[in-house]
Amino acid sequence: MKILIVDDESLARERLARLISTETSHQVLGEAQNGKEALEMIDKLHPDLVLLDIRMPGIDGLEVARHLVDMEDPPAVIFTTAYDEYALEAFKVNAADYLLKPVSVEHLVAALAKLLKPNKAQWRSLNQEEGKPKARTHISARTRKGILLVPLEEVYFFKAEHKYVTVRHHQGEVIIEGTLKELETEFAPKFLRIHRNCLVAIHYIQALEKNYEAQPCLRLRGVDEMLEISRRHLPKVRQVMNVR
């Protein structure tokens, strides 16, 4: 089995790599020190398993797991964490395993022996806060150059087109799978629905205007095009703009 080790502490990574190489027949493909590196290496190396630290700066382990949902064949994941056993009870209903730091040889070998790959429904349940999905800090998109991570604060709007969603951001735009409803649920109240096919970042709203057909539209800072507002959503848009 090919394994990727992800932890922001170099000593923790070195210890896990040493245990795997000396106590098992599995192969360590590489090491990542944060969530961004982890996603890039998963996309490039295609490991069978990721030993994934939960608490990391930036993109943490739980958010990494959320991004794996859209992969055709995501790797299995074993979380490593310093949480006490009581804090882990809520997670143990999932197929992915959890190892408490410092990880012992016995527990590591046992976890590898009983490893199961969680399905997408289980992945979606991993990152919860008060029963609701915790919002990601980045949007992940697969491109010809590999995985692209777009910071959420750089996203101007999401626009649904057929079976995909276009994400307009500071550097251009990318296409992702999913629905606006899922994005609206995850990223409320930072994003506002202005049309059945469009969500905009409230932070970038600049002005409410009318186009040449006298249709109400939104102008966003940093975006040339104006975005049409449907009659159904116009009252909510006005309400939000009056609050700002």
Please state the length of the chain.
Answer: 244
Q: Among all chains, which residue has been given the structure tokens 């000593």?
A: 11
225, two tokens: 């095009």
Q: Among all chains, which residue has been given the structure tokens 């030993």?
A: 51
DSSP annotation of 82: -
Q: What is the largest CA-CA distance in the chain?
A: 71
CATH 2.40.50.1020 fits 138-243, yes or no: yes
pTM over 0.75: no
d(CA 98, CA 108): 9
Beta bridge partners of 81: 100
- CATH number for the domain formed by residue range(s) 2-129: 3.40.50.2300
2-129 and 138-243: identical CATH topology: no
Q: What is the pLDDT of residues 93-127, one digit of tens each?
A: 344 678 888 899 999 998 888 776 655 555 555 55
211, two tokens: 């186009």
Inform me whether the pLDDT recorded for 136 exceeds 60: yes
- Each domain of the chain, given as residue ranges in start order, spans 2-129, 138-243
What number is the average pLDDT over the span 14-29? Answer: 94
Q: What is the pLDDT of residues 51-89, one digit of tens each?
A: 999 889 999 888 888 888 777 788 888 888 887 654 454
